Structure 1
Amino acid sequence: MTRVINWCVVMLVLSNARLFLENLLRYGVLADPTQVIPLFLKDPYSWPAMCLLIVSNVFILVALYTERQLSKGSFSELVGFLLHCINMAVMLTFPAAVVLLVPSVTPVGGAVVLGTYTILLLKLYSYKDVNLWCREMSTQKAKKLARSLSCEQQVCYPGNLTLKDIYYFTFAPTLCYELNFPRSPNIRMSFMFRRLFEMLFFTQLLVGLTQQWMIPVIQSSMKPLEDMDLSRMTERLLRLAVPNHLLWLLFFYWFFHSSLNFTAELLRFGDRQFYKDWWNSETVTYFWQNWNIPVHKWCIRHFYKPLLRKGFSKMVSQSAVFFLSAFFHEYLVSVPLRMFRLWAFMGMMAQLPLAWFVGRFLRGNYGNAAVWLSLIIGQPIAVLMYVHDYYVLNYGQETN
């Protein structure tokens, strides 16, 4: 069995090396780092995405101010809850409105902004919850909630309500707030610079492969999609599957290993479990639980378990988690592109029946193959659908 797998890997590498060489011979060298700048800036004198990132500090300060007033008893719990809800609702709608209404916001810039605001929204929700739990507990139980490496470093509520604390949490590679995070004893300079080098190297590699391999395939797919030529659409989809998945794997390593570890080392953040062995997933559920540990921990702590405590069944709670994830996937894709097609939403919700089927009928290597197949084929379908619709909306009239 191992020899067969090794043979398949060798054949896969050779066949895709041939495709890559064919791409170079047909299109020449397309990689150009200077072409990345227009993806972020449409007008060199207008930086709306950067302005939105700076404005995000207002929401952080509002959350801190609200918690300080609640700790002193100046606000009732109802008033504090309403202020947090308003703050987070504005965080969700304000950047989206700016991205939709300001023409100088590029799709890539909009995606970066909305991704940042989404992460901040989840962080501030956790910040609100943990401080509420501390107020509901006795002083003794609140001290048990605070986790630290030494008694001298321990912070107890409300001593955590400081600018330094909330901004450390804002930049820390986690979505779940704690009064005392595990800390490393020192910064390992060699480890940090290796991660920094990886970040820079993989950034250039991702850009080059996208320009050289992805864009030509996507551009050549527009005509078959417009003509609804099923055979050619399938051929383009299969051609797109390998480079798309390779880029996804490289992005995963760049973000979850290099970037998060670099940030953690810089901040001496002790919890480095950003992912587990998702590549060994024999079920779809195992994959979603282990490929993105920070999001999984947040969903379990602040969404899934609260639903269970309210009396909802496990099936309903799991479906609600998938629905929330599908909503944010659609939010992060459709708003920057200024179009609502629900391809990301439907793709995420399709994971529910797929998870049920794989968990019930497939096991071992067959289940693992089904998970990998859903990743390799599912993503290119969504990419083609979005790119096609974006092309038709923005450039279709020009070509007619």
Structure 2
Amino acid sequence: MQDSYLHTGSGFQNYRGIINLAIVLLILSNMRVALDNLLKYGVLVDPTQWLEYLIRDPHNVRALALISFSNVMILTAYITELALSKSYIQESLGSALHFINSFFILIIPLVYVFVYQPTPIWSSLACSTYSMAFIKLISYKDVNRWCRKDKMSKKQKTPDVQNLVQYPNNLTLKDLYYFMFVPTLCYELNFPKTPYIRKNFLLRRIVELVLLLQLIMGLIQQWMIPAVVNSMQPFDEMDYYRMIERMLKLAIPNHFIWLLFFYCYFHSYLNILGEITYFGDRQFYLDWWNAETIPYFWRTWNIPVHRWATRHVYKPMLKAGFRNSQASTVVFLISAFFHEYLVSVPLRMFRLWSFIGMVAQIPLASVISRFLSGNYGNVAVWLSLILGQPIAILMYVHDYYLANAA
């Protein structure tokens, strides 16, 4: 009879305890860093500082006026679609008017920022407003054009449900402004709606939004700003070891703030908008934290943008005869452009290295998908998120600091 020990052995098959150890060590190390920050700088959190900054900022009135001016572009798109529906103008002229209107939507914030040089906060608010208007009006234009084609080809079907809006009865200012406020980027003639407002749900989301915004601003004051300020000298001296140390020191608070902002915006804020507008489609994100590839992350972390890109860029390109890889690349480049637009314009600078870094994710995504899978792929995605953002933040802040030091 063989001894039973010959059929036994040791090995690493269940990693639960090791993972728990890693979590405990991560918590303890970050507690030490947080305590070191408090001992070194004291309490820097001031909840009223941000509000005072926004109110006393000399650019606030001008920025609010610029944001209000975006209504001119919205009305221009509405009048153009109304004229097209009544055949007052041809499709070619309507397309030209929409193109000119879209061009000015993107160029006006750029001119405002570089001429008046407002602070980054108000610049970001203006650029975000105009970018949102640009994306939504593209969808508004496309859907109405598709409806006109269906009507001309007599393919428009009679609705089975009463009170269902059909083209061109949707062309009202009320309908357009409803679309501008609901938490979606894709226009529909008939949006899904909820029957009533859930007051308890709405109150929870409002409390979350207020508390999380205070937490984010407090973490920026207490943790981010000192780390960024202390990173200026190593960048000036090109001290690579200290640059890496500062980047790693910034990585954890930066990503923690990014996670809080994600929840604050995509869960709390968008649900508030959806609730007060009776908007029924609340799928704003999927399980991007389980992403094993970068493409899956980009498809799931921002569902409104993904749906817009699929509907108005990806599928039209496929119908036009482009390959899947070509359409995907164009979608990614458009996403990279808007990410850079929302960062570069408020800071009054465009850095080619940043855009190249965004584009570099295309081959990076291919490498991760090809060589890594499962948990290894998920770890690679998290590393790209945690380390990529601090590098971009430090380099942009450093360049902004140098440009405004004089």
Contact residue 304 and residue 321 of structure 1 kept, 8 A: yes
Pairing 1:389-400 to 2, within 5 Å after superposition? 389-395=399-405, 397=406
Aligned match for 1:385, one of 392, 395, 398: 395
Q: CA distance change for structure 1 residues 175 and 45 in 2, over 3 Å: closer, same or farther?
A: closer
Q: Give 3-state SS (helix, strand or coil) of 1:138's partner.
A: helix
Contact residue 127 and residue 176 of structure 1 kept, 8 A: yes
1:214 aligns with 224
What percentage of residue pairs aligned between the two structures are identical? Answer: 55
1:209-240 deviation line (CA, Å, top 9, x unaligned)? 00000000000010111111111111101000
2:179 aligns with 169
Q: CA deviation at 1:327?
A: 1.1
Pairing 1:3-42 to 2, within 5 Å after superposition? 3-37=17-51, 40=54
The CA distance in 2 between the partners of 1:142 and 1:29, in whole Å, is 64
1:82 aligns with 96
1:363 aligns with 373
Name the TM-score, length of structure 2 as normaliser: 0.93
The CA distance in 2 between the partners of 1:54 and 1:143, in whole Å, is 38
2:7 aligns with none
Contact residue 54 and residue 60 of structure 2 kept, 8 A: no
The CA distance in 2 between the partners of 1:46 and 1:235, in whole Å, is 37
Pairing 1:88-127 to 2, within 5 Å after superposition? 88-103=102-117, 105-127=118-140
Contact residue 39 and residue 108 of structure 1 kept, 8 A: no
Contact residue 282 and residue 368 of structure 1 kept, 8 A: yes
Q: Give 3-state SS (helix, strand or coil) of 1:151's partner.
A: coil
Q: Give 3-state SS (helix, strand or coil) of 2:195's partner.
A: coil
Q: CA deviation at 1:122?
A: 0.5
Pairing 1:62-73 to 2, within 5 Å after superposition? 62-73=76-87
Pairing 1:203-282 to 2, within 5 Å after superposition? 203-282=213-292
Q: CA deviation at 1:38?
A: 6.1
Q: CA distance change for structure 1 residues 326 and 159 in 2, over 3 Å: closer, same or farther?
A: same
Gapped regions of structure 2 (runs ≥ 5) = 1-14
Amino acid at match of 2:252: V
1:60 aligns with 74
The CA distance in 1 between the partners of 2:103 and 2:400, in whole Å, is 28
1:292 aligns with 302
Q: CA deviation at 1:314?
A: 1.2
- Superposition RMSD on alpha carbons, in Å? 1.5
Q: Give 3-state SS (helix, strand or coil) of 2:230's partner.
A: helix
Contact residue 224 and residue 232 of structure 1 kept, 8 A: yes
The CA distance in 2 between the partners of 1:312 and 1:207, in whole Å, is 45
Contact residue 185 and residue 305 of structure 2 kept, 8 A: yes
Q: CA distance change for structure 1 residues 50 and 4 in 2, over 3 Å: closer, same or farther?
A: same
Contact residue 60 and residue 122 of structure 2 kept, 8 A: no
Q: CA deviation at 1:24?
A: 0.7
Contact residue 155 and residue 179 of structure 1 kept, 8 A: yes
Amino acid at match of 2:140: Y
The CA distance in 1 between the partners of 2:204 and 2:89, in whole Å, is 47
The CA distance in 2 between the partners of 1:192 and 1:339, in whole Å, is 39
Greater alpha carbon shift after TM alignment, 54-63 vs 364-373: 54-63
Within the alignment, does 1:347 sit opposite 2:361 as a pair? Answer: no
Greater alpha carbon shift after TM alignment, 167-176 vs 308-317: 308-317
Amino acid at match of 1:130: V
Q: CA deviation at 1:342?
A: 3.0
Q: CA deviation at 1:37?
A: 3.8
Greater alpha carbon shift after TM alignment, 345-354 vs 232-241: 345-354
Q: CA deviation at 1:112?
A: 1.2
Aligned match for 2:149, one of 136, 157, 164: 136
Contact residue 172 and residue 264 of structure 1 kept, 8 A: yes
Q: Give 3-state SS (helix, strand or coil) of 1:51's partner.
A: helix
> How many residue pairs get matched?
391
Q: CA deviation at 1:275?
A: 0.1
The CA distance in 2 between the partners of 1:274 and 1:336, in whole Å, is 26
The CA distance in 2 between the partners of 1:46 and 1:14, in whole Å, is 42
The CA distance in 2 between the partners of 1:181 and 1:46, in whole Å, is 35
Gapped regions of structure 1 (runs ≥ 5) = none
Which 4+ stretches in 1 moved above 3 angstroms?
A: 37-46, 138-144
Aligned match for 1:308, one of 318, 321, 338: 318
Q: CA distance change for structure 1 residues 243 and 45 in 2, over 3 Å: closer, same or farther?
A: closer
Contact residue 59 and residue 122 of structure 2 kept, 8 A: no
Contact residue 176 and residue 298 of structure 1 kept, 8 A: yes
The CA distance in 2 between the partners of 1:100 and 1:38, in whole Å, is 24
1:325-367 deviation line (CA, Å, top 9, x unaligned)? 1111111111111111134322211110110001111000000
The CA distance in 2 between the partners of 1:338 and 1:365, in whole Å, is 40
Contact residue 59 and residue 119 of structure 2 kept, 8 A: no
The CA distance in 2 between the partners of 1:304 and 1:39, in whole Å, is 42
Greater alpha carbon shift after TM alignment, 335-344 vs 348-357: 335-344
